[in-house]
Structure 1
Amino acid sequence: MRIFRQATIKRKMMLISMATTGVALLISGVVLIFNEMVSYRRSLVNSLTVQARITGSNSTAALSFNNPRVAHEMLGALSAAPNIVQATIHTREGEVFARYLRTGERVKPISPPPKNGYSIAANSIVVVEPIILDQEPIGTILIESDLRELHGRLGWYTAIMVIVFSGSLWVAFLLLSRMQRAVTSPILDLVQVMGTVSREGDYSVRASAWNDDELGSLAQGFNEMLVQIQSRDNELELHRRHLEQTVASRTAELADANEQLQRELVERQRAEEQLQRYSGELRDINDELKSFAYMVSHDLRAPLINIKGFASELDLALKDAFPLLEQSLTTLSGKEREQVRFALQQDAPEALGFISSSVNRMDALINAVLQLSYIGRREIRLETVCVTTIVNSILQSLRHQLEQRSVTVTVGELPEIIIDKMALEQIIGNLLDNAVKYLAPERPGRIEVNAYEEADGTTLRISDNGRGIAPGDMGKVFELFRRGNCPDTVGEGMGLAYVKTLVRRFGGRIECESIPGVGTTFSVFIPIQSYSGKEYQ
């Protein structure tokens, strides 16, 4: 097959045509020989059947009177047919009654067909016919014939087929060797032109169109392609010259741009250095602010404690002094006594109560600032945390409020993430606590907790059907000391500020979506943390 692929088109056409002609002649010869063999066998079977029936009919008397000699004479008439090897007449019981053997043949067993009819072997045909007398079988006759005449005919036909096959192939070869030029010559001419174009790059040469057939159309199309290539080659040459000029111009422009870029890079490097310096200064200032907030909050607590203590002392002193003052009020008029009693029993205790409540409020705010400062300074310890366990633990601590408000909580499939466990508890705890606080009292509460894993982190979503947040307050929900406009809730307004601070420490983000009267959804994205088993700050 490889030799055929590498042969020239002339040889390929000759081989294909000769192979096609040879296969067609061979099939035709084989079919003719096979037909002759089948026809001869059919004719021979018919002839043997007729001879068997005639001989059997003539042998009925010999079988009836048990006269083998007459039957043998009847079988001897078969010697006129040289192809009959042997014949036997059998009684009804299957015993040999009479036999005929061709001259020079020896007795050999015959393999008759299982029933009346015939069987064909490689070198012989056996015919079996019953001998009938008064419509009753009285015996059978077997005649065996050889196939030498058939083999001789087949040999003769085969020799004729070989002669015809060889002569036909020779004639076909002579015709094809001349007729193939009409196909190969235009192709070879086209190949020669193509080689000239390929070697010399000369697109001015043209192929000859020999005929007005497909090969002529191919040559004409090839010539048109050469015309187009030559035209485009000329255009490319013009474009090449123009491109060289453009490249030279652009090279000069790029050189100027490179110089400008180098200057910008130097300026950018300076700006980055300055930015790093500012960043370091900002980090130092942030640390100082954290320390300042901690110190201020800590130092403010001492005066508050003193104010609260002295206010309590004043309250006790008024209670102790009132009986003594009651005795000295007898010298005053009735109206003056009432004014003094009102001041001592109502105005003074009420003022001291305001002082005490304000001190408690200030103490709570100071604690909130201290807590925020602690969150910003606490070391983070990364570990693998099961979010489901954290959520279930927080919901267990809120079970009383959830049952009191008939809240339905739905927790989806939550993953395990790498994070600081205490920080995650504070994030989820504050969000769930807010969701419970701001549920609408006029309808059953519903809270949903879900998580969605992304390529670079995990998003936690906590949704409720509470009161919602007004559009004007959406930008303030994460500010310090900001609380919803709900007088029936308690708190300092620091929960979401804590959450935002913690989320930022992990490089994440928190977003809020809310519709007043419908509900609120907080989405917390926590990126994948680089966990090395070490603490980081």
Structure 2
Amino acid sequence: MKLLRNLPIKQKLTIISMVTSSVALLITCGVIVIFETIDFRRTMVEEILTTARIVGDNSAAALTFQDAAAAEETLKSLDADSHVGTAFIYDAAGRHFASYHAAGGTRIPPPPVEREVHRFHDDSLGIFKNRPDDDYLEVFHDIHVAGERVGTVYLRHDMLELRDELVRSGYLAFAAMVGASLVALLLTRRLMPVVSGPIMDLGQVVRDVATRKDFSIRAEKQGDDEVGSLIEGFNEMLGEIQQRDAALLAVHESLEQRVEERTQELASSISILNATLESTADGILALNQEGKVVSYNSKFAAMWGFPADMLQQKDEVRMLAYATTLVVDPEGFASKTGLRAVLRGNHAFDVIELKDGRTFERYVQAQYIGDTPVGRVINYRDITLRKRAEAELADSARQLLETSRQAGMAEVATSVLHNVGNVLNSVNISCAMVSDRIRRSRVHNVAKTAALLEKHSADLTAFLTEDAHGRKLPEYLAKLAAGLEEEQEEVLKELKLLGKNIDHIKEIVSMQQGFARVSGVTETLAATDLVEDSIRMIDASLARHAVAVVRDYDEVPPITVEKHKALQILVNLIRNAQQACDNSGRADKRIIVRVSGFAGRIHIAVTDNGVGIPRENLTKVFAHGFTTKREGHGFGLHSGALAAREMGGTLTVHSEGPGTGATFTLELPVLSPTSARHQP
């Protein structure tokens, strides 16, 4: 079918007609030849069986009297049939009795007698079989005298006659096919214009319309058949296209005018934007969402000194490789501050030191179209002069060292008070629960029971066995004991949690006391245990505010960390999440705590469905003193970020905006920097 696809329709119709008629003739001739072959074969078998029957009847007397010469004389009568090449007569015991070989024929030894004379007896033709090479036909026929088998005659007949008949039939079939094909070809060419003419005319109209773009041309309908319907529909379609083309032409002219106006406006805006970008003191680089370079200003090219061909190609891979050769820490630059690495978050800031002594600040800001992120804009600011000025002011800074230390101590004290305040909330809740439990304790019932027993001390046995109240006293004492045990367990549980919180306060104070000297003591523990301890410290507050906690823990390796620093961060994050849920006014207040691991680092994410964080505040939440709470001080997240950095980790935030909740992620190395320094 693929061969016909690109041929003209005339050739297609001719080929289809010729192939169809040829295949039909070929099948018909084949059936006739097969039938003739089968019929000729059956006739040949009948004839040779008749010959075998005649030879057998004529040889019966010779077999009876054991006259071999007479039998061979009988076999010589087969000379009249040039297709019988060999014949044998066997006696009743299957021994060779007489033979015949045609002149010039191949002499063969007598084959063994086959006794399965009734194998094809359904047509009363005796037994015959074709050899696989189909060169001859051999027949075994039993010779009977008075109903008794006296021998067997064997005839071997060649197949030349059948082959000659097949050749003649083949020639006749071929001649018939050639003649019929010529007649079909003539008829097809004569009748083809009836079908192909309208289609070819339609094709010419299509070409004219496509070439001249003149939709007023119409095809001529020549009949009411399918082709006529096609032409009629095509003409209607041309009419609609003509109308739409006129309308589109009018719209196109109007659109061109509008595009020209907008192009001028856009050119003016781009000119202003380019002038703004080129006038800024910062190097600016714009990337799309895939990390490909979109644009840059001349300051960026001058700061990094990229070759001209590299800038023209905007090949971010080559640019990153080139920039890596210029920085002091190539490995850190490639892994943390490369062009692609900035795509991991909405906002980022870092400082890059170059080998030539220059220092750059880099600011990364997400770029949005509506609410859809489309890329990042990176600002590089050369702060080398500022750094030098800072170095020149070192002498002045030493004079202010004492003042700075005092300010630092104030911030440390504020941080301690904030973190201790977080824990004291849990301590207050635990104390309140213990006090409330003791007030509602049933221990006074023990005194009542003792007074009752003392009242009946004289007749205690009778009271316990006969009095209605006395008989219930043992059962009551058992229930009272069980209740007191339950109260004791609850109080001990709260006291244990209270002890943990007090220990945590001690650790916070101790940690801050040693802040300027050494890092805290590290512990190796499961990250999930660390999270569960944090939740347990404010579990009562979560329950009181009806905030559900959902845990999503992956299997992660144990983490070596300063436990109380990590607890300080996590308790603060969970408490902030609870307050965000409370302020949202939602009925389904929920906090999700996820623990996962990747590339040797542990990620602990605290997600709430609370009030969310405006986009403009995402870069401010970790600043010292920044807060959106009415009674907040802005120390919790700031101190948490500092503590995370001291442990070799990071504290980040993500929120889609107000009303969408927020996610704070604490990322810590599996092996803390403090413990790593002590590794052999």
TM-score by length of 2: 0.46
Match of 1:188 in 2: 200
* Deviation, structure 1 residue 16: 2.5
What code does the residue aligned with 2:34 have? F
Tell me if 1:526 matches 2:666: yes
Counterparts of 1:85 and 1:510 in 2: how far apart (Å)?
Answer: 104
Of 152, 174, 177 in structure 2, the residue corresponding to residue 162 of structure 1 is: 174
Counterparts of 1:2 and 1:528 in 2: how far apart (Å)?
Answer: 65
Matches within 5 A, 1:88-487: 88-102=88-102, 105=105, 107-109=107-109, 114=114, 115-116=116-117, 117-121=127-131, 122-251=134-263, 291-292=406-407, 294=409, 388=526, 391=529, 413=554, 415=556, 421-422=561-562, 425-428=564-567, 451-453=594-596, 458-459=603-604
* Deviation, structure 1 residue 510: 12
Contact kept, 8 Å, 1:94 with 1:139, in 2: the verdict is yes
* Deviation, structure 1 residue 26: 2.0
Contact kept, 8 Å, 2:569 with 2:640, in 1: the verdict is yes
* Deviation, structure 1 residue 97: 1.6
Describe the superposition over 1:86-121 as per-residue Cα deviations: whole angstroms up to 9, x where unpaired.
Answer: 322112343332234446646444657854421224
> Would the alpha carbon gap of residues 164 and 451 (structure 1) be closer, same or farther in structure 2, given more than 3 Å must change?
same
Counterparts of 1:391 and 1:509 in 2: how far apart (Å)?
Answer: 23
> Would the alpha carbon gap of residues 296 and 166 (structure 1) be closer, same or farther in structure 2, given more than 3 Å must change?
closer
> Would the alpha carbon gap of residues 2 and 260 (structure 1) be closer, same or farther in structure 2, given more than 3 Å must change?
closer
1:246 counterpart SS class = helix
Describe the superposition over 1:119-151 as per-residue Cα deviations: whole angstroms up to 9, x where unpaired.
Answer: 224332111012234544322101122233322
Counterparts of 1:103 and 1:158 in 2: how far apart (Å)?
Answer: 31
Contact kept, 8 Å, 2:205 with 2:218, in 1: the verdict is yes
Counterparts of 2:506 and 2:21 in 1: how far apart (Å)?
Answer: 110
1:204 counterpart SS class = coil
> Would the alpha carbon gap of residues 292 and 159 (structure 1) be closer, same or farther in structure 2, given more than 3 Å must change?
closer
* Deviation, structure 1 residue 30: 2.4
What code does the residue aligned with 2:556 have? P
* Deviation, structure 1 residue 64: 1.9
Unaligned runs of 5+ in 2: 118-126, 283-364, 366-378, 388-396, 414-504, 537-550, 575-591, 608-628, 656-661
Contact kept, 8 Å, 1:112 with 1:128, in 2: the verdict is no
Contact kept, 8 Å, 1:503 with 1:510, in 2: the verdict is no
> Would the alpha carbon gap of residues 71 and 386 (structure 1) be closer, same or farther in structure 2, given more than 3 Å must change?
farther
Describe the superposition over 1:143-202 as per-residue Cα deviations: whole angstroms up to 9, x where unpaired.
Answer: 122233322222221221121111011001101112222222222212211221222111
Counterparts of 1:454 and 1:296 in 2: how far apart (Å)?
Answer: 33
Counterparts of 1:231 and 1:38 in 2: how far apart (Å)?
Answer: 72
Counterparts of 2:173 and 2:653 in 1: how far apart (Å)?
Answer: 95
Percent identical residues: 27
2:151 counterpart SS class = strand
Counterparts of 2:140 and 2:212 in 1: how far apart (Å)?
Answer: 86
Unaligned runs of 5+ in 1: 299-364, 399-409, 436-448, 463-474, 481-493, 512-521
Contact kept, 8 Å, 1:415 with 1:451, in 2: the verdict is no
* Deviation, structure 1 residue 84: 2.9
Match of 1:8 in 2: 8
Match of 1:40 in 2: 40
> Would the alpha carbon gap of residues 450 and 231 (structure 1) be closer, same or farther in structure 2, given more than 3 Å must change?
closer
Tell me if 1:502 matches 2:643: yes
Counterparts of 1:99 and 1:296 in 2: how far apart (Å)?
Answer: 133
What code does the residue aligned with 1:155 have? V
* Deviation, structure 1 residue 247: 3.1
1:26 counterpart SS class = helix
Counterparts of 1:88 and 1:296 in 2: how far apart (Å)?
Answer: 130
* Deviation, structure 1 residue 244: 2.9
Higher Cα radius of gyration = 1
Match of 2:17 in 1: 17
What code does the residue aligned with 2:643 have? L
> Would the alpha carbon gap of residues 235 and 454 (structure 1) be closer, same or farther in structure 2, given more than 3 Å must change?
farther
For CA contacts below 8 A with separation 6 or more, give which structure has more relative contact order: 1
Counterparts of 2:171 and 2:412 in 1: how far apart (Å)?
Answer: 125
Counterparts of 2:98 and 2:274 in 1: how far apart (Å)?
Answer: 127
Counterparts of 2:412 and 2:179 in 1: how far apart (Å)?
Answer: 122
* Deviation, structure 1 residue 380: 9.2
Counterparts of 2:596 and 2:412 in 1: how far apart (Å)?
Answer: 40
Counterparts of 1:379 and 1:239 in 2: how far apart (Å)?
Answer: 77
1:97 counterpart SS class = strand
TM-score by length of 1: 0.57
Match of 1:61 in 2: 61
2:89 counterpart SS class = strand
1:507 counterpart SS class = strand
Counterparts of 1:256 and 1:240 in 2: how far apart (Å)?
Answer: 24
